[in-house]
Amino acid sequence: MLRGFYTAAAGMMANQRMQETLSNNMANAYTPGYKADQGTMRAFPELLIERMGSKTIPTKNGFKIPDGGHVGSLNTGVYMQEAIPSFVQGDVKETGVGTDLALVQNAVPDESGSLFFRVQNEDGEERYTRNGNFTVDGEGFLTTNLGYYVLDGNGDPIDTGGMEFNVSQTGELTVDGQAFTLGLSYTPDASQMVKEANDLFRLSEEGDIIVNPGAEEGVGYSILQHHLERSNVDPNRTMTEMMNTYRSFEMNQRVLKAYDQSMQKAVTEIGRIR
């Protein structure tokens, strides 16, 4: 009986985490370059149930049937293992703003490969993003909308001097006669990228990153100035998944209530002498 409590409760907790993930996706449906998280559900390890103390099964006729002892397996519920970002290319829209840059991934040699802009966070550490909604700060440096420096091919902040600049499709930034190579990176396995706050990613310890991927064979991309990559969240699909998750949560809640009522009867009515 108590096992039913734990199974239903585990289902409710897994659905709650999934709902939080979907809600966060919906909240960022219009955030440039946002990559939707996909929750993965897994069952708890199955328990193997075996017959104890008997190698045969007796029958009413007196015969004994050999038995291997296996009764079957028992599953004790599910849990949400992790939320994995989906790096599917988002739609590109024209904004007309000179500091907006869209990174369009054309072709890569690895099925799970993905390209990123290189930026520097407040601690001076290199991070990666697909949000090209850039701006120029008061000192003339190209930054993200949260003030993180956008890096060039050498890993240095890009100083525009507060002047207008042009960016070619190959990522060459030209301002006042000076040319910079926009800092890009490529990872063969995007699943090794760990999502942080503010649309930033960092590389896990097991991951591999290639800076300035333009020289890599098979890596194709283009930079579109005056454009932004939209979020890859599908609002209609996400809303449907949220409704299904809520229904699943509600069903587990009813199961838990039914078990509670059964336990209450077992305590108050079973064994009562009239």
Between 40-44, 143-147, 263-267, 269-273, the lowest mean confidence (pLDDT) is in 269-273
Is 71 in contact with 2 (CB distance < 8 Å)? Answer: no
Is 17 in contact with 268 (CB distance < 8 Å)? Answer: no
Between 70-84, 87-101, 160-174, 214-228, the lowest mean confidence (pLDDT) is in 70-84
Both 108 and 125 in a single domain? yes
Q: Is the pLDDT of residue 56 over 80?
A: no
Contacts of residue 178, Cβ cutoff 8 Å, sequence gap at least 6:
none
Q: Work out how many domains the chain is built from and give that number.
A: 2
Both 181 and 221 in a single domain? yes
Question: Which is higher by pLDDT, 235 or 215?
Answer: 235
Both 247 and 218 in a single domain? no
The Cα–Cα gap between 77 and 44 comes to 6
Q: Would residue 54 count as lying in a domain?
A: no
Token output for 257: 């209530």
Nearest to 169 by CA among 119, 225, 214: 225
Both 136 and 191 in a single domain? yes
Both 211 and 255 in a single domain? no
Both 97 and 220 in a single domain? yes
Both 132 and 173 in a single domain? yes
Confidence at 272, pLDDT banded by 50, 70, 90: low
pTM of full prediction above 0.75:
yes
Q: Is the pLDDT of residue 53 over 70?
A: no
Taking only Cα atoms into account, the Rg of the chain, rounded to an integer number of angstroms, comes to 28
Query: Each residue of 125-164: pLDDT tens digit?
Result: 999 999 999 999 999 999 999 999 999 999 999 999 999 9
Both 101 and 134 in a single domain? yes
Both 18 and 109 in a single domain? no
Q: Would residue 6 count as lying in a domain?
A: yes
What is the domain extent for residue 193? 92-229
Nearest to 157 by CA among 169, 176, 142, 138: 142
Q: Would residue 26 count as lying in a domain?
A: yes
Name the amino acid, one letter, at 91: D
Both 100 and 184 in a single domain? yes
Both 215 and 239 in a single domain? no
Confidence at 82, pLDDT banded by 50, 70, 90: confident
Question: Can you give the pLDDT at residue 33?
Answer: 95
Distance of CA 174 to the CA centre of its chain: 35
Specify the residue for token string 């993003």: 129
Both 184 and 143 in a single domain? yes
The Cα–Cα gap between 224 and 230 comes to 13
